[in-house]
Amino acid sequence: MRTSPFQPKGCILFDWGDTLMRVFQEYSGPMKDWPRVEAVPGAAAALAVLHDDWLLAVATNAADSDEADIRSALRRLDLERWLDRVYCYKKIGFKKPSPEFFRFILDDLRLSPNRAVMVGDDFENDVLGAIRCGMQAVWLHPGEAEPSQGQGWQRIRCMDELPGSL
């Protein structure tokens, strides 16, 4: 938690599954209860660097986990300390890419869309959903064939690239 006055550049919203923490298809139910959890490579380092200048939040469609469950899973990997907020489907009542999902978060943070960036691995839900609401987006996609940027978005291949791309 932050202890001193903080004037962030804006907010970076992170998808949870396969953006901050790996999803293992063999497990079901809340991730906090999975026998094994893993951070996406580079996630912890990126969060640590970005935390100095940005408000950081999770923005997820997770259906099995509420905010407390998500925080508990993040805590297992010492990622929770970098995240200021958690927004999830169970709290918002809408899923990405709906405009209502993103508007809820922007209204809660009292931010205009141009001060928020969505980072995620799902092009339709994370990237296009954010762009439709006037936000910038970063697509986490390791593939080689896809373009590296488009109108309102750019692609990174690993989380280590995120701080230098903003």
HEC profile for 54-89? Answer: CEEEEEECCCCCCHHHHHHHHHHCCCHHHCCEEEEH
pLDDT at 115: 95
Structural domains in the chain, sorted by start: 11-165 (3.40.50.1000)
The predicted structure's pLDDT at residue 108: 96
The answer to whether 148 and 154 are in contact (CB under 8 A) is yes
pLDDT at 151: 84
Short-list 19, 37, 50, 38, CA closest to 123: 19
**Running DSSP on this structure, what letter comes out for residue 6?**
-
Side by side, which strands form the sheet with 11-14?
85-88, 55-60, 11-14, 116-120, 136-140, 153-156, 149-150
Over its length of 166 residues, how does the chain's per-residue pLDDT go in tens digits? 555 566 778 999 999 999 999 999 999 999 999 999 999 999 999 999 999 999 999 999 998 999 999 999 999 999 999 999 999 999 999 999 999 999 999 999 999 999 999 999 999 999 999 999 999 999 999 877 666 777 888 999 999 999 999 8
